[in-house]
Amino acid sequence: MTEDKNTFNQELLFELLEKKEYEKFRLEFLDLHSYDQATFFLSLEEEQRVTLYHFLSPEEMATVFENVEQPEDNYQDVMAEMTPEYAASMLANMYVDDAVDVLNELDKDQVASYLTIMDKESATEIKELLHYEEYTAGSIMTTEFIAISSNQTVKSAMAILKREAPDAETIYYIYVVDEVERLVGVISLRDLIISDDDTMIAEVMSDRVVSVSVGEDQEEVARKMRDYNFLAMPVVDFQDHLLGIITVDDIVDVIDEEASDDYSKLAGVSDVDTLDYNPITSAKKRLPWLIILLFLGMMTASLIGRFESTLDQVPVLAAFIPLIAGMAGNTGTQALAVAVRGIAKGEMAQQSIIKILGRELGTGLITGSSSGIVATIMIYLWKGDFYVALLVGFSIFISLIIATLAGAVIPLLMHKVKIDPAVASGPFITTINDIISTLIYFGFATLFLSYFL
Amino acid sequence: MTEDKNTFNQELLFELLEKKEYEKFRLEFLDLHSYDQATFFLSLEEEQRVTLYHFLSPEEMATVFENVEQPEDNYQDVMAEMTPEYAASMLANMYVDDAVDVLNELDKDQVASYLTIMDKESATEIKELLHYEEYTAGSIMTTEFIAISSNQTVKSAMAILKREAPDAETIYYIYVVDEVERLVGVISLRDLIISDDDTMIAEVMSDRVVSVSVGEDQEEVARKMRDYNFLAMPVVDFQDHLLGIITVDDIVDVIDEEASDDYSKLAGVSDVDTLDYNPITSAKKRLPWLIILLFLGMMTASLIGRFESTLDQVPVLAAFIPLIAGMAGNTGTQALAVAVRGIAKGEMAQQSIIKILGRELGTGLITGSSSGIVATIMIYLWKGDFYVALLVGFSIFISLIIATLAGAVIPLLMHKVKIDPAVASGPFITTINDIISTLIYFGFATLFLSYFL
């Protein structure tokens, strides 16, 4: 029974659309949750979509479109299927932040023409938001919030709320502003409802408002919102003027995107790749790192080439190259992951770089010595050659310490100079550590060559 | 100005607490947002915490504790600092889902004793939630929701809402149940507010309720909530009885946790490691994978050992081991990351495993041939040895195809047999691909040995 309610009859909708059963289709379709409407929309072919535009008003289509998440290059085509008037009206009826998201994916010409046909008020609202930089608070906020003055009763505030509710993106927080639109307080609908009608807003509002500034990074906004458990967060300029709000549903998307992004970078997929792409698109997303790795790998190869005479004399050394490089590469990735997550979570702020390095040095010493000792014993038992065993073990020991430090230092330094540390992706750190560890291994081998002969 | 509002005067609070200025401290402290209260609490030493317990009532402390996120092993100690009566009363005053989170970290004895002292109603509520399995909808839901019958007016529903608001975790969705507590509808406070007082609930409620079943995986719940943009989601049993609700703030935490978890696993950190741990704890979280890698690396070493005579005759082969292994390892991690993200996002559901494999095979063919050709040309230009160049290039071609397939197939198969695919972590896939690629490389080298001599 739960199943029936959570899904919907896609087949029936297809059939009604194909048969152009206008009334029946609308009855079924408009009863769906807007996410399900969007899912249905995404499953249609062009011809069916065009029928749908005829079946739905621009207002109804706006609700569908608010929930549609297209691959970036698809918006252009889909929008071109509508008449310009229909498209402009649909955009005007969408929540302004969602409309801006769509417009950001279109040609400048197309955007300009929609804004010209659109009613003036909507066009002005949209234009205000269009110029904010991507990934800032400004780029994800909406201007459809409810703001009131503190100089009124709960009852009159409730009246304003009822009037403005249809247009506001959330009515669960009401923001209080002074005569020059500066944010001075906030009150939740919950507090409003349990307060007496005649109480003044100034008495029940909280004047300790947590806000974010319009240029703040969206990841930072997400962190604050998660920590404070807000459903919406006000966005202000440097003089505390209330510019907009960011709602929790957009923050959920931000958290998801940022996590996907960090994850992809750790794996060395240059851009977000998905199971939905065709092989050519996928290959394009993966090849850049592979080609960089190829060049870095050639460096490692030429490095090993320089130790050819050592290798000639002690060929058994070759067998342990992947072991040492692999362990150093992985240790570096571990340290990288902890540092990148730490930065993302804001743990960095509370600690000095020196303290973190001390911590990672300690960790490297423990993992390095443990792994080094185990390796020495294993190889000695297996090969019976104490010097080779000691060489491999000692190389692992030194490599792991350096790899741990490199894995932590590189993202921390990048963060200091304001580069996204996740760019120092897994394969990059891995290959750097491959090179360092190979150098250490063959360096020691050559230095103590006489023992192995 | 924004800065002042968003932070708080920690120094002043410390001072007031130290000087035992009861009145002034409470005035300052209780004015803070509960997240800031929790941040302050976490910065205290034991002695100061004990003073704090004397300064705050269990109700006030409950609000602080709802926002405290302790490392798992710390709850036990902190709770032991309070008198059992104080602790029990605090737990009873917390939102029941948060209280359960705390109790889940304590000894069974301690839990039992708190539940015995606690008022009966709270104890019963808590006990109901304590037995749900971790990571299911049941384990993160709360029972503090508002449920009404459809057989009443908007006005009477609003009266119920005002009465129950202080205890409910959210009042923004009101759930409608029939006479046997089965979920039949939902209405948002927004719709309630804009409806006329005399309208019947049955007329304004939505009877197409999206719900999750109590045993559903929390990651699945998070996905639904994100897709539908809900602020809360009802949890039902198999007969559609309403058991609880899950609020969006808990879902934000789930998304964050799951992302951290996947990320850590990709990097081969066995459990979530943070910059806050000491080196010994950190090393413990990282060593398991390193030791496994050591054993797998020994396998690679012994594999290369078997080709010793080939290596003896063509020592230059050793130089390209890290290159080939590194590229295969990374390709596998890329495919793994795409597959794991795809599974997490639910993209899997729409596609058959055969189709995904076809896609990955295509991707592997493109990345493999591109990288293979580039490698062949580079090595030929560098070393002037066509056969070695061809051997390396061809090995990269074959290795990348197999590595791509392995990276995608392993998590997909794990998902099919209901193992969390993120467990097939980066280092594991990398090492498997190290072994496979080394085997291919030396296999071909041995097969065509005569060409290299």
Q: Specify whether B13 is located in the same domain as B162.
A: no
Q: How far A109 CA sits from the closest chain B CA (Å)? A: 32
- Asked whether residue B126 falls in the same domain as residue B151, the answer is no
A202 Cβ under 8 Å from any chain B Cβ:
no
Across A205-214, B24-33, B150-159, B341-350, least confident range: B341-350
A30-56 in b/e form (b: 16+ CB < 10 A) is eebbbbbbbbbbeeeeeeeeebbbebb
DSSP lists the bridge partners of residue B212 as: B235
Q: What is the domain range of residue A402?
A: 279-452
pLDDT over threshold 70, residue B2 = no
The residue from A98, A130, A162 where one domain ends is: A130
Q: Is residue A192 part of a domain?
A: yes
pLDDT grade for A424, boundaries at 50, 70 and 90: low
Is residue A351's pLDDT more than 80? no
Q: Under 8 Å CB-to-CB from B83, ≥6 apart: which residues?
A: none
For residue B447, give the H/E element and its range.
helix B426-447
**Which residues from B are below 8 Å from A172, CB to CB?**
172, 189-190, 231
Whether the complex's predicted ipTM surpasses the cut of 0.85: no
Evaluate if residue B233 carries a pLDDT over 90: yes
pLDDT in the model for residue B148 = 94
Looking at beta carbons, which residues of chain B come within 8 Å of A324?
Answer: 297
Lowest mean pLDDT among A110-124, A269-283, B315-329, B358-372: A269-283
Answer whether residue B272 is part of any domain.
Answer: no
Q: What's the CA gap between B39 and B20, in Å, rounded?
A: 20
pLDDT (0 to 100) of residue B423: 60
Residues of B (48-77) whose Cβ lies below 8 Å from A: 67
Q: Does residue B267 sit within a domain?
A: no
Same domain, A112 and A79: yes
B21 DSSP 8-state letter: -
Scanning every residue of chain A, which has its alpha carbon at the shortest distance from the alpha carbon of B284? A367
Half-sphere exposure of A260 (CA within 13 A, CB side): 17
Pair A97, A177: CB distance under 8 Å: no
Q: Is B31 on the interface with A (CB under 8 A)?
A: yes
Q: How confident is the model at residue B347 (pLDDT cuts 50, 70, 90)?
A: low
Q: Do both A35 and A63 map to the same domain?
A: yes
Residues B247-290 have pLDDT tens digits of 998 898 888 888 888 887 787 775 566 666 778 887 887 888 78
Chosen for mutation from B290, B292, B353 (greatest number of chain A CBs closer than 10 Å) is B290
Residues of A in contact with B280 (CB under 8 A): 362, 366
Residue range B391-445, pLDDT digits in tens: 999 999 999 999 999 988 888 888 877 776 666 567 788 888 888 998 999 999 9
Of A228, A279, A297, the CB nearest to B326: A297
Cβ-defined contact of A286 to B367 (cutoff 8 Å): yes
Q: How far is A249 from chain B (nearest CA, A)?
A: 5
Q: Could you tell me if B313 and B432 lie in one domain? A: yes
Q: Please count the helices (runs of H) and the strands (runs of E) in chain A.
A: 24, 6
Residue B1 pLDDT greater than 80, yes or no: no
- The closest of A243, A177, A451, A227 to A346, measured between CA atoms, is A227
Query: Which phi and psi angles does B173 have, rounded to 5°?
Result: -125, 135
Residue A306: per-residue pLDDT: 87
- Express each pLDDT in A114-173 by its tens digit: 999 999 999 998 998 888 888 899 999 999 999 999 999 999 999 999 898 888 888 899
Evaluate if residue A217 carries a pLDDT over 80.
yes
> Would you state the pLDDT for residue A147?
94
Whether residue A125 lies within 8 A of chain B, CB to CB, comes out as no
Q: In the prediction, which pLDDT does A4 show? A: 43
Instruction: Tell me if B410 is assigned to some domain.
Output: yes
What confidence category does residue B185 fall into, taking pLDDT thresholds of 50, 70 and 90?
Answer: very high
Q: Pick A208's closest partner by Cβ from B5, B227, B337.
A: B5
Determine the residue of chain B that is closest to A262 in CA distance. B263
Domain check: are A347 and A219 in the same one?
Answer: no
Same domain, B32 and B6: yes
Provide the domain count of chain B.
3
User: Which candidate in A27, A172, A209, A286 is best for mutational testing of the B interface (most B CBs within 10 A)?
Assistant: A286
Question: In this structure, are B126 and B185 located in the same domain?
Answer: no
Identify which of A252, A274, A347 has the shortest CB distance to residue B274.
A347
Residues A188, A298: one domain? no
- For residue B3, the model assigns a pLDDT of 41
Dihedral, CA of residue A146, residue A148, residue A154 and residue A156, to nearest 10: -90
A325 pLDDT band, cuts 50/70/90, is: confident
Say yes or no: B179 and B118 in one domain. no
So what's the pLDDT on residue B391? Answer: 93
Joined tokens for residue A343: 């930065």
If you average pLDDT over residues B190-218, what whole number do you get?
A: 91
Among B278, B294, B318, the residue with its CB nearest the CB of A321 is B318
Question: By CA distance, what is A196's nearest residue in B?
Answer: B162
Which tens digits make up the pLDDT trace of A54-112? 999 999 999 999 888 766 667 888 888 999 999 999 999 999 888 998 898 888 888 99
B253 to chain A, minimum CA–CA distance in Å?
7
Average pLDDT, chain B: 86
CB B144 within 8 A of CB B168: yes
Residue found under tokens 């199971």: A275
Stronger pLDDT, B361 or A134, i.e. the higher one: B361
| Of A66, A101, A130, the domain-final residue | A130
Partner B, chain A 358-387, Cβ-Cβ below 8 Å: 359-363, 365-367, 370-371, 374-375, 378-379, 382
Closest CA to B433 of A233, A452, A427, A272: A427
The predicted model gives A218-240 an average pLDDT of 91
Do B244 and B142 form a contact (C-beta atoms < 8 A)?
Answer: yes
B104 in any annotated domain: yes
- Picking from A240, A290, A378, the nearest residue to B371 by CB comes out as A290
- Tell which A residues from 134 to 163 touch B, by Cβ distance under 8 Å: 158, 161-162
CA distance B226 to B175: 20
C-alpha separations of B398 from A318, B373, B388, B449 in Å: 22, 12, 15, 18
Q: Residue B61 sits in a domain of what CATH number?
A: 1.25.60.10
Q: Distance (Å) from the C-alpha of residue B55 to the closest C-alpha of chain A?
A: 22
Is B4's pLDDT higher than 50? no
Q: Contact B249/A229, CB-based, under 8 Å? A: yes
Please check whether residue A434 lies inside any domain of the structure. yes
CB contact under 8 A, A359 and B318: no
- Inform me whether the pLDDT recorded for A415 exceeds 90: no
Nearest-by-Cβ selection for B287 from A255, A300, A370 = A370
Residue of A nearest to B348 (CA): A275
Q: Compute the distance between CA of residue A304 and CA of residue A298 in angstroms, rounded to an integer.
A: 10
Assigned domain for B142 exists: no
Q: What is the CATH number of the domain that holds B400?
A: 1.10.357.20
Per mean pLDDT, which range of A421-425, B287-291, B368-372 is the poorest? A421-425
Give the number of other CB atoms < 10 A from CB of residue B88. Answer: 21
CB proximity A270 to B under 8 Å: no
Task: Among A256, A287, A302, identify where a domain stops.
Answer: A256
pLDDT of residue A390: 93
pLDDT > 90 fraction of chain A, expressed in percent and rounded = 37
Please answer yes or no on whether B256 and A226 come within 8 Å at the CB atom: yes
Judge if B300 and B421 occupy the same domain. yes
Segment B379-398 mean pLDDT: 91
Coil vs helix vs strand at B244:
strand
Q: Is residue B62 part of a domain?
A: yes
Domain shared by B123 and B175, yes or no: no
CB-based contact, A301 to chain B, within 8 Å:
yes
Cα B382 from chain centroid? 47
Strands B147-148, B173-177: pairing kind: parallel
* Cβ neighbours of B226 in A, within 8 Å: 249, 252-253, 256
On whether any CB of chain A is under 8 Å from the CB of B293, the answer is yes
CB–CB contacts below 8 A, A to B: 394
